[in-house]
Amino acid sequence: MAEDPNALFETWLAEARAAEPNDPEAMALATADAEGRPSVRMVLLKGHDERGFAFYTNAQSRKGEEIAANARAALLFHWKSLRRQVRIEGAVAPVTEAEADSYFATRSRDARIGAWASDQSRPLESRALFEARYEELVAKFEGKEVGRPPYWRGYRVAAERIEFWTDRPHRLHERRLFTLGADGGWIESLLYP
């Protein structure tokens, strides 16, 4: 194997942070419910190491419920300015409570209150109702610490497949696939574009 895929990802992410004009940490997160119906949305990468790729959300949201029913997901980073993408597939597990608390504490106070105010993915009668709920919580937390709601947590996708795609002229793209072997080591191969 020429490279460790986690180290290669960190290199590509650093290059994206330097070149991508908006949200280089943005990734498409694909989940599926218990019946296999897929769903995809954009989330932000909030951590990466050899354990996987972490993001945070409301566990009662559609994605949270789908992860509870089917703990597998796919991620896609697309860095248009670099003409690259990275695809990741694997099992999903919650991060530790301590990790979730630690990340939540880094969010702005307004974003922390917003996490309390939102019944993410649930029907909303009106925008005014949501904004009034937010303002009520601003008053409730006046002068108090805004701790993490019990339903707000982090998840980590433990990569089993990581594909690095690079655009090349004439659709002769380069596709490098790293697959996790039974021994825990990575197996590298190439794919036809």
Q: What is the DSSP letter of 32?
A: E
Q: What is the DSSP letter of 139?
A: H
- Please give the Cα distance from 189 to 112 (Å, whole number): 43
Burial classification of residue 31, based on how many CB atoms lie within 10 Å of its CB (0-12 exposed, 13-18 middle, 19 or more buried): buried
Return the active site residues: 171
Six-digit token string for 76: 């896609």
Of 71, 65, 68, give the one whose Cα is nearest residue 89.
71
